[in-house]
Structure 1
Amino acid sequence: MPKVEAVRTNATVDQVRKALSISWVALFGEHPSPESICVLLAQWALETGRGNSMWNYNLGNVKSHQKDGDWCFFRCNEVINGKVVWFEPDHPACCFRAYPTLQQGADAYMHELHGRFAKAWPAVISGNPTEFSKRLKASKYYTADEGKYTSTLVSLYREFLRSVSTKYDLFSVLGVQQALDALGYEPGALDGLAGPKTTAAITAFQRDNGLTADGIVGRLTRAELADELSRNETVNARGVITR
C-alpha cells in the first residue's frame, strides 16, 4: 500500500459522532448507547486534540506497519522509560495509518478497537472510560502516563455525555437552535442553518452567562447550555415558569 502525504483533516465532534454511529450500526446492527459513543468520542478527542490535530482521518492515531493500508509520516512522541521522546519522519515510530475519508477512518478505528484491542471493548459497551483507559494501557495502545491519560479521558467523557444527555443534540446546529429557543432566546427558524439570528442568539446567551460573546458554540458554551437546560427543567418541574 502506498505512502501518502500527511494532511491535517479537522473534524467536528458532531461529524465524528455521526461517523462512529454509522460504523457501529454496520458492525452490530443496532445504535450505540450515549455512554458507549462518548467513550469513543473522548478517546478521539484526547488523541487528536479535539480533532484539530487529526491526520488523514486516523481517529485513534493508530500506527502503521506499511502493510495494512495507506500510511503517512508525521512528527510524534512516545514516553520511553518515563521520558518523552520525539520522533521525526521517516522514523518507523511516526508511521501512521491514513484514510481518504472520515467514514473510512471511523470504520477502521472501530474495527481496530473491537478486534486488535478486544480486551478493552467491554469497557466501551459498559460506558466506562476509566476501565477503557486501563485496558488500553495493558494492551500497549499508548505509552503515556496512565493516570494522566485516564483523567483526561474521563473529563472528556463527562463533557460529551452531558451534552448528548440533554433533550437536544448540542453538537448540531438544529439542537443548539432548539435549546436556545427553549431557554427563551430567539434563534430564528429552527432549520439547522447557522444564520445571523442564530449567531445573535448564541451571542446573547454567552453574554448573559459570562462567556466570551463570539457567537461560536465551543466546549464552554455547550456545557453552559447543558447546565442551563438542566436547571430550566428542574425549575419547570416545580411549576415555575422561567424567562
Structure 2
Amino acid sequence: MVKAYRKPREIIWVTGFFLLVISIFFGLSGYLMLWDERAFAAVRVATGGAGNLPVVGSFIKIFLRGGTDVTGETLIRFYAFHVAILPVLSLLLIGVHVLLVQYHGMSVPVFVENKQKAGEPFFPNVFYKDMMIWLMVLGVVATLAVFLPPEIGNKANSLAPPPEGIKPEWYFLFMMETLELFPGTIYCFNGETIAIICVTIGIIFFFLIPFLDRKSNRGEKNPLFTIIALIYLIYFVAMTIIGFST
C-alpha cells in the first residue's frame, strides 16, 4: 500500500528482497545443524525440490548437498554457509540497504509525499531508535532460546524412512501445501516440477514489482499491485494455517 519500491528506491527493494532470501536460507542451513531425523528429512525435501527446476535444478541440488544425497558433506557445507558466507553477505547487503535508505530517505505513501516535513538526521536520532529495536528483538530471541530451546530428536539416519507426520518450519509450510495441491503427474509432466516452477515464477514476479509498477513510479495510484500483494499475503497465511492444522 505504501509502494516503498517507487522510483528512485528500486534498489532498496532489491537489497531487501535478497536479505529476505538470505534470512530464509539462514533458517534452512541452521536447521540442519541439529542433524536429527526431522532436520535431515526437511533438508532432503528442500534440496530435492530445488533439483526439480528445469536446466539448473540438478546443479543446484548437487551444489547444496555436496553430492547426490544429504550426507555429512552437506552438513559441513551448510555449516560453512551458516557461519561464514551468509553472515558476510548479510552484512554487505545491510550496509548497502542502510546507505540507500539514508540517501533516498524513508518511503511514504504517495498522498503524503508532498506534505512530508524535513526528516530527522540518521545519527544519532534514527540510529538510537534502531538500536533500541534491535536490542529488544535480541532480548526476545535470547529469552526464547533459553526457555524454549529447539528439541533434538533421534540422530539422522539416511537409511531410515522419514518420521510420520513430519512438517517443515512454519515459513516453509506454504511451500509444502503448494506441492500437495498438485497431482503427481500433469499431462505427462511431473507435478512437483510444475509446482516448483509456479512458485519460482511467483518469486521472480515479486522481485520485479518495482520495475513493473510504472504508474506508482510516476506518482499515480495503481490498485492492481496492491491487490496482488494482498493475494500473496492471503495465500501465504492460508497455506500456513492449513499446514499447521493438517
TM-score (norm 2): 0.29
TM-score (norm 1): 0.29
Comparing both chains, which one has the higher relative contact order based on Cα–Cα distances under 8 Å and sequence gaps of 6 or more? 2
Higher fraction of strand = 1
